[in-house]
Structure 1
Amino acid sequence: MPRPTPSSQLPDADGTPDPRGAGVTCRILVLAGLLVPLNAFFVLFMSYERSIYDPTLVALFWNVLFLLVVVRLINQALLRWRPAAAFSPAELLVLWVLMAVATSGAGLDSMQCTFLAMQGAFRFASPENHWESLFLKQIPAALTVSQTGALDRIWLGGASLLEARNLTVWAGPVARWWALMTILWAAPIGLIQLLRKRWIEQEKMGFPIVHLPMELASHRVHWLRSPVFWCAAAVPVLINLLGGLHTYWPAVPSLPTAMWDARLDMGRYLVAFGRPWNAASYMLYTCLYPFIIGLGLLLPGELCLSLWFFFLFWRVEKIGAAWLGLQAQWDSHYDFAAGGYIALVGFPLYAARRQLAGLLSRAWRRDAREPGEPLSPGAAVGIFLAGFVVLVGIGVSAGLGLPVAAAFFTQYFVMAVIIGRIRAEMGLPTHELERWGPAWLQSTILGPRVLGLQNMTTLSLFYGFTRGMRNIPLPHQFEGLYFASRTKLDGRRLLLATVPFIALGLAWAWFWTLFLSHNRGLGTYRGPFHTWFAQETWTQLAAWLNADAPMAWGRLGQGAIGFAAYWGLMALRSRWIAWPLHPAGFALSTTWYMSHMWFPMFIAWSLKAMVARWGGLSAVRALPIVAYGLILGDVGTGALWIIYAMVRHVPAYAFWQ
């Protein structure tokens, strides 16, 4: 029996295949290209003008989701009145991937941290902190701005980027950072190709994060007519309506949902108990974000359980450490988590070792590209190695020793693969690798006695784009190939199209960052926020240099324990089907943003458990619809409030912290 033709590749009336089925069409590329500058302005305006954390801090970029909803509404009108002009589902998915990749450039963990780090040392050096005598002369001049007049203008505001005196100062360093980050984010397409078949076809990873965009891209979405969807959406709509009205008319009551709301602070009760209980009081909030609860409903139940369980486990550990008098130096959970992260990617890579060896052998023999593969093995390996060599060369030119530069970028790409794996397998709402970047780990573990002053200074400059890595484009590129496997769009063209959109997104992000900063002033608007991020990496460096600590063998030992604990949990899960804890929760529960998400994960796990126990099969099948309602209701009304604030030039209600 012949296989049915996918709807995205149905022929036209004259019998020729519809080119829109491939997805990567000229009109969708033009549309995405026109939207990139507007999208970058929206993301950076929220941060610089309205004090709202940008959408790249969560795995599902809600700005791109809102954009997809708007385009889908327009597309529905086209389907009704001019079907020939309507976008195909494949084109909408391509738009999603390209806009997500372009959004990455404006994220906090890339653009904003790097931008502040490249000037912070010179702006805040003083006789009191002794930075000039410690490391100022070792900072690479080609990647930084040190002119006092230029820094005064951008921190005080009231200036224009387009003035010649500002352009000449910033153009060179910004162009070099743009080139570095473009290569850094384009090179992994080779890694994506090498891992694609294993992750998508053999392990059949679910990619939970992108199920909602896939549903929205189709022409017929049956759950939009479901009362369950609209009832679920009504909850965040009501919360955001009251929250927005409360922002402008404080007499209107609001419902507490967000971090820092005193009504949700559970830590105050632990403070009242005194020591050792108050050791676990910091950032212990019972947040109620509908957006995150919805994402939690799309996760496996054991992962939701593990996230909140291990989050509270680390808090209990803090109480125990305080009871033993170890509170001042007890942050071992970060080291345990680092070992867990390595095991998280090491376990599947070890399982795939024969297939990866076969791919490398085919690359050495220069075998041709197989049908359905975006790149040949030789091209994949060549692209990655070429990018890696160029990046190592840039690191050496910035002052890193050759072994340190090679180790730094090797660890960076290992982290990128870990994040891709987390999203592909688990769909976690955030994948912040806090205090596990290569700059942090090398400096913390090896220390100044092993690395030396120049290496540590350059690593501190590179800290900006490795701080949390929540917005790297690799996972979105991988999800594009997942779309290709499900909808038969052209994965090769899509993967290659992401590269110029990486460059375009970074270019516009740099432009709007400089434009808004000169106009508003980094020190006059959100001054404490910008000041803290500008000094963060240099304050760390000064502390390491002043301590002059030897190599931290204890941290390596704790990382080894974390590695062994992950493998032990994995072995229990493999041998005992009833084991309730997912080993990934051991590593993923230590991040700063899990303080926002642990209680939403608890709520999602509780709902899933109760529905599975008492709701029956129909109720279980309705849970994804509930999740979609919570997510779209929260994102839709929250984004509209932000747009309203942008147009009216008034403070914005932040549905997401």
Structure 2
Amino acid sequence: MENRDKQVGLKSFIIGALLCFLIPVMAHYSIDIVHGSYLAIDFMPAGAIFLFFILVGGIAVILKLISKRIALNSSELLVIYIMMLVTSSVATMGLGAQLFPMITAPFYFATPTNRWAELIQPHIKSWMVPQGKEVIRQFYEGLPKGATIPWLAWLKPICFWLIFLMALYMIMITIMVVLRKQWVEKERLIYPLAQLPLEMVRDENNSIIRPFFKNRLMWFGFAIPFIISSINAFHHYFHFIPGIELANSIPIFRNTLDMHFRVSFPMIGYAYFINMQLAFSLWFLCLLSIVIKGICNITGFGFNENLSCYGIQSSPMLYHQQTGGMIVLVLMGLWMARDHLKDVFRKAFRGTKEIDDTNEILSYRASVFMLLVSLIVMGTWLYFSGLPLITVPVFMFFALVLFIGLTRIVAEGGLACAVAPSIAPSLAVSGLGTSIFGHGGLVSLAFTYVWGSDLRTFVMAATAHGLKIIEVIKGNRRKLFWFILGALIIGLGSTFWIVLKLAYTHGGINLQGWYFIRAPQWPYRYVVDHILRPTGVNWLGWLHTAIGGGFMLFLMSMRYRFLWWPIHPVAYPISAVWMMEYMWFSIFIAWIIKALLLRYGGNKIYKGAKPFFLGLILGQLVAAGLWFIIDLITGHTGNVVFWA
């Protein structure tokens, strides 16, 4: 990093705020209007990295040429990236594309056949949804000529949802503040997803163009996905240009499963930075899970359960087993951090001076009390939304375990694309039965799908990587909390504005089909099924949760006792999720390349090749951003050059 001033201030906040406003607009125009690449869907935010590439490789260079006084130093650039990272986690998949369609779906999609007006609508609290049939109908079908967007009709539900969302996000941020020292300094997790922005701004000599952009090996890696993506984009424009296929699949186990072979250049790039043992475990356990699924399919072994459409819903047995693994991963992680957590609480409640928290973005006292208050606010909100009081702690436990566990897996495993093995609403219903919830409680659970179902990106993971990145920022870090909070507020505001504008202008049913039509109906179908066919406690599910937890304990004990043990336990809880079935082959490619380089070239060659793999990541994501702009200008639609 540069030796000169590393402090960040108003300049970086203003630039970050402008980009945080732009990211949701870009992301929603891409998926809803252009129907192109996904720019804010996973833990690797394509839109943010594309803008960061322009900022570091272009704008920052121009500013430095004009005057060093207005130049952006490395710390300022990294803070801007962290702000964009946080905003990306709420722009589409993490919240923005889910919230408004899901809270209006039980009204717009209600029919006499599905009986939602009878079974769902009476249990919905009025403050959670906009009022007025026309307000909701026009959200999906568009405004008549001359009409204006009914902003006031949305003000009340947005305000009530913001109370919950800010409590949830404060929980996520404060938990990561509490765990940062344990993960970053004591366990030294690798955080592969943080490597690209750190390398992009690295500049010990304060040169005009940073070394990363002068590295030929990086540009060679960059060129491969960029050229292939551009050829495929041109193929979409001009069909006589042949496309390059990067994915294939073969049916296995009597056509009950497909084995996917897919090349994801970003995943190859990120996987290069993963621990060899973990990289092996990720692809090996995924293949093992596929075999288990296949055997169960052709033998009929296992059991059936309606678990909605998320997690490992195709195999309830693995759904519960790997949930057990996730629970053990989190609880054992907290147990291993017990000494650090004792220090945190001593500092928070006693103010023990020898415990240093000056490197945190919040003091431990502020973090702990903010966490406790936010937990109370979240639980109270859920209770008033219709969730029975006795079920609130159980539901919140499942939700936080999945958030913390998946964040840990992404931070250690570098999985740019990943989902949890289960979701909290389905776990709560399976584990407690339907009678304890009642009809109102089940409907309340449907609304938690807004933020707790398709966990492909969320604020906790973004914050965790942001807290890793700020390691290189010296001086007082307290102001960075306010930068993150500002990014959240600006990102949410931009997201709410652009979603309502596009929906009322074009009609939601004409926008992205998954977000506006299919996904919003799943929670209510699930709820109606359980209202009409109540279920008791699934003791078989609990048994398999215990089996999975026991297997996870076995993997962890073997790893800590025997150096030769080849299986890394962190890979187990997500080995059977659908996303891994698409990512395993790319991880395998990176693993075999890294193994060969280390064996025949040694550590020097391995380190020297890093720019190439960072180039693979950057080239793919820059291509996605560039072709979004081209498609937006030309009006061409359906040109998806990147989704994961």
Q: In the TM superposition, what is the alpha-carbon distance from 1:190 to its structure 2 partner?
A: 2.6
- 2:541 corresponds to 1:555: yes
Q: Distance in 1 between matches of 2:503 and 2:568?
A: 44
Q: Distance in 1 between matches of 2:172 and 2:194?
A: 20
Contact 1:160 1:519 in 2 (8 A): no
Contact 1:199 1:205 in 2 (8 A): yes
CA gap 1:526/1:210 in 2 versus in 1, 3 angstroms: closer
Give, as a single letter, the amino acid of the residue that structure 2 aligns with 1:403: I
Q: 1:136 aligns with which of 121, 132, 145?
A: 121
2:92 aligned residue:
107
Q: Distance in 2 between matches of 1:36 and 1:496?
A: 14
Q: 2:217 aligns with which of 202, 206, 228?
A: 228
More moved, 246-255 vs 617-626 = 617-626
Q: 1:377 aligns with which of 360, 364, 381?
A: 364
Q: Distance in 1 between matches of 2:398 and 2:65?
A: 51
- 2:386 corresponds to 1:402: no
Q: In the TM superposition, what is the alpha-carbon distance from 1:399 to its structure 2 partner?
A: 1.4
Q: In the TM superposition, what is the alpha-carbon distance from 1:470 to its structure 2 partner?
A: 2.6
Contact 1:144 1:173 in 2 (8 A): yes
Contact 2:290 2:576 in 1 (8 A): no
- 2:642 corresponds to 1:656: yes
1:313 aligned residue:
288
Q: Distance in 2 between matches of 1:529 and 1:204?
A: 37
Q: 1:433 aligns with which of 416, 420, 424?
A: 420
Q: Distance in 2 between matches of 1:526 and 1:375?
A: 39
CA gap 1:211/1:244 in 2 versus in 1, 3 angstroms: same
1:531 aligned counterpart, secondary structure: helix
Normalised by the length of structure 1, the TM-score is 0.90
- What is the CA deviation profile of residues 325-363 of structure 1, one whole-angstrom value per residue up to 9, with x for unaligned ones? 247734311111111111222222111113312322332
- 2:242 corresponds to 1:253: yes
Contact 1:481 1:495 in 2 (8 A): no
Q: In the TM superposition, what is the alpha-carbon distance from 1:366 to its structure 2 partner?
A: 4.1
1:558 aligned counterpart, secondary structure: helix
1:122-521 superposed matches below 5 A: 122-145=107-130, 147-159=132-144, 163=148, 166-219=150-203, 221-258=210-247, 264-267=248-251, 270=252, 276-281=253-258, 284-326=259-301, 329=304, 330-367=315-352, 370-434=357-421, 436-488=422-474, 490-521=476-507
CA gap 1:132/1:215 in 2 versus in 1, 3 angstroms: same
- 2:94 corresponds to 1:84: no
Contact 2:2 2:73 in 1 (8 A): no
- What is the CA deviation profile of residues 178-237 of structure 1, one whole-angstrom value per residue up to 9, with x for unaligned ones? 332122112333322322222222222222211110111223643543432222222112
1:651 aligned counterpart, secondary structure: coil
Q: Distance in 2 between matches of 1:305 and 1:277?
A: 27
Q: Distance in 2 between matches of 1:527 and 1:411?
A: 29
Q: Distance in 2 between matches of 1:570 and 1:200?
A: 20
2:310 aligned residue:
none
Q: In the TM superposition, what is the alpha-carbon distance from 1:529 to its structure 2 partner?
A: 5.5
Q: 1:536 aligns with which of 514, 522, 525?
A: 522
CA gap 1:397/1:598 in 2 versus in 1, 3 angstroms: same
Q: Distance in 1 between matches of 2:153 and 2:404?
A: 36
Q: Distance in 2 between matches of 1:332 and 1:449?
A: 23
Contact 1:244 1:653 in 2 (8 A): yes
- 2:618 corresponds to 1:643: no
- What is the CA deviation profile of residues 93-120 of structure 1, one whole-angstrom value per residue up to 9, with x for unaligned ones? 0000011112222121322222221011
Q: Distance in 1 between matches of 2:494 and 2:616?
A: 32
Give, as a single letter, the amino acid of the residue that structure 2 aligns with 1:185: Y
Unaligned segments of structure 2, at least 5 residues: 305-314
Contact 1:343 1:563 in 2 (8 A): yes
- 2:629 corresponds to 1:629: no
Q: In the TM superposition, what is the alpha-carbon distance from 1:563 to its structure 2 partner?
A: 1.1
Report % sequence identity.
23
1:4-83 superposed matches below 5 A: 7-8=2-3, 10=4, 18=5, 21-23=6-8, 25-52=9-36, 54-72=38-56, 73-83=58-68
Give, as a single letter, the amino acid of the residue that structure 1 aligns with 2:361: P
Of Structure 1 and Structure 2, which has the larger fraction of its residues in helix? 1
Q: In the TM superposition, what is the alpha-carbon distance from 1:160 to its structure 2 partner?
A: 8.4
2:448 aligned counterpart, secondary structure: helix
More moved, 112-121 vs 190-199 = 190-199
Q: Distance in 2 between matches of 1:551 and 1:573?
A: 34
1:176 aligned counterpart, secondary structure: helix
Q: Distance in 1 between matches of 2:412 and 2:536?
A: 38
Q: In the TM superposition, what is the alpha-carbon distance from 1:527 to its structure 2 partner?
A: 4.3
Contact 2:360 2:478 in 1 (8 A): yes
Give, as a single letter, the amino acid of the residue that structure 1 aligns with 2:457: N
The root-mean-square deviation of aligned C-alpha atoms, in Å, is: 2.3
Contact 2:302 2:317 in 1 (8 A): no
Give, as a single letter, the amino acid of the residue that structure 1 aligns with 2:55: V
Q: Distance in 2 between matches of 1:43 and 1:388?
A: 31
- What is the CA deviation profile of residues 604-646 of structure 1, one whole-angstrom value per residue up to 9, with x for unaligned ones? 1121222223344443223322211111111122211111111
More moved, 524-533 vs 423-432 = 524-533
1:3 aligned residue:
none
Q: Distance in 2 between matches of 1:117 and 1:558?
A: 31
1:593 aligned counterpart, secondary structure: helix
Q: Distance in 1 between matches of 2:61 and 2:510?
A: 45
Contact 2:274 2:412 in 1 (8 A): no
1:286 aligned counterpart, secondary structure: strand
Q: Distance in 2 between matches of 1:35 and 1:529?
A: 24
Contact 2:231 2:244 in 1 (8 A): yes
2:174 aligned counterpart, secondary structure: helix
Q: Distance in 1 between matches of 2:194 and 2:244?
A: 29
Contact 1:47 1:53 in 2 (8 A): yes
Give, as a single letter, the amino acid of the residue that structure 1 aligns with 2:142: G
Unaligned segments of structure 1, at least 5 residues: 1-5, 11-17, 259-263, 271-275
Tell me the matched-pair count.
Answer: 625
- What is the CA deviation profile of residues 430-452 of structure 1, one whole-angstrom value per residue up to 9, with x for unaligned ones? 23125x22222112322212322
Q: In the TM superposition, what is the alpha-carbon distance from 1:512 to its structure 2 partner?
A: 0.6
CA gap 1:526/1:349 in 2 versus in 1, 3 angstroms: closer
Give, as a single letter, the amino acid of the residue that structure 1 aligns with 2:18: L
CA gap 1:177/1:53 in 2 versus in 1, 3 angstroms: farther
Q: Distance in 2 between matches of 1:527 and 1:193?
A: 37
CA gap 1:370/1:113 in 2 versus in 1, 3 angstroms: closer
2:308 aligned residue:
none
CA gap 1:403/1:452 in 2 versus in 1, 3 angstroms: same
Contact 2:78 2:197 in 1 (8 A): yes
Contact 1:54 1:107 in 2 (8 A): no
Give, as a single letter, the amino acid of the residue that structure 2 aligns with 1:7: E
- 2:554 corresponds to 1:577: no
Q: Distance in 1 between matches of 2:145 and 2:393?
A: 39
Give, as a single letter, the amino acid of the residue that structure 2 aligns with 1:311: C
